[in-house]
Amino acid sequence: MSTTQKVAVVTGGNRGLGFETSRQLAKKGYQVILTSRDEAKGQAAAEKLQAEGLDVIFHLLDVTNHESSKQLAEFIRQQFGKVDVLVNNAGIYIDDQAGENSIFDAKIDILEQTIETNVYGALQVTQALIPLMNENNYGRIVNVSSGMGQLHDMDGGSPAYRISKTALNALTRIFASELKGTNILVNSVCPGWVKTDLGGAKAPRTPEQGVDTIVWLATAADGSATGGFFRDRQPINW
Ligand SMILES: NC(=O)c1ccc[n+]([C@@H]2O[C@H](COP(=O)([O-])OP(=O)(O)OC[C@H]3O[C@@H](n4cnc5c(N)ncnc54)[C@H](OP(=O)(O)O)[C@@H]3O)[C@@H](O)[C@H]2O)c1
């Protein structure tokens, strides 16, 4: 790795949007640390991208495990001494698995599990990596949110997922506010409805289309937007 090569961490990188984000960032010359909570799946995903000639390595990360985030930060400090990009992509959507989709039947354990991954997960990975960004006064943090978390036209159904993405957007605003005046930019993105295990086969977008705005924000120039919510490279309502 050259000293000028940027280092990017992607959570939930073994499949779907995280995998494609890893590929696209590596294609742009980034050293990508593809993380996954499953060693075998993460390793296989990284090897697939390495076979494409890309600078991708695997590191274990379960975003719900505080120790796991700390170990990742320690590994990065020793191996690279910096991190430039964090894509908080790992997420779950388990409202439907619970056999309910209405807030009238919302189960607290489904809410807890969803918020633990989609909100507290992103929070603690960010907390673990921000010191490394601060030391360099450079950082691009992209929180992969969803239009389903928009308060502006909040609909019914899937309450756990919706609430988690609204809360993730709040994290974006709070971090961006506390990082004002630094070169660490924090934004939320809605990738649109994308064909992945989570999005399902009927989704109109390919993963490559879905990650376009994620990669755009992850590679944004100094002085670009912070504390925003974007889809298709355009600001959208909270
Ligand atoms: N697809 C869409 O239409 C769509 C639309 C809007 C927003 N999004 C958001 O985009 C992000 C990626 O979604 P996707 O469609 O790519 O979903 P996906 O194919 O289901 O992939 C989700 C990824 O998150 C990982 N993950 C879940 N819990 C984790 C944990 N505790 N620690 C580490 N990784 C964990 C999964 O790992 P395992 O393989 O181990 O389960 C998997 O790699 C999510 O935040 C989702 O909410 C997706």
Q: What's the confidence (pLDDT) of residue 110?
A: 95
Residue 162 is part of a domain; what is its CATH number?
A: 3.40.50.720
Count the neighbouring beta carbons within 10 Å of the beta carbon of residue 67. Answer: 8
- Give the pLDDT mean for 6-21: 98
User: Does the structure show a pLDDT above 70 at 124?
Assistant: yes
The mean per-residue pLDDT over the stretch 35-39 comes to 98
| Averaged pLDDT of the chain | 97
Give the contacts of 227 (CB within 8 A, at least 6 positions apart). 172, 173, 176, 177, 186, 187
Tell me the residue length of the chain.
238
CA of 11 to the centre of ligand 1 (A): 9
Q: Does 1 map to a domain?
A: no
DSSP string, 90-118: -----TGGGT--SGGG--HHHHHHHHIII
The angle subtended at Cα 83 by Cα 80 and Cα 86, nearest 5°, is: 140
For 155-190, the pLDDT digits (tens) are 999 999 999 999 999 999 999 999 999 999 999 999
Q: Is 161 a residue of the active site?
A: yes
Expressed in angstroms and rounded, the spacing between residue 4 Cα and the centre of ligand 1 is 30
178 occurs within a structural domain:
yes
Cα(118) to centroid(ligand 1), Å: 9
94 lines ligand 1 (CB under 6 A): no
Residue 17's domain comprises: 7-235
Tokens of 105: 């039947």
Average pLDDT over residues 24-28: 98
Asked if the structure places residue 92 within a domain, the reply is yes
User: Is residue 134 over pLDDT 70?
Assistant: yes
Q: What is the largest CA-CA distance in the chain?
A: 55
- What pLDDT, on the 0 to 100 scale, is given for residue 200? 95
Split into its structural domains, the chain has a count of: 1
Q: Which two tokens stand for residue 225?
A: 């937007």
Q: Domain for residue 2, yes or no?
A: no
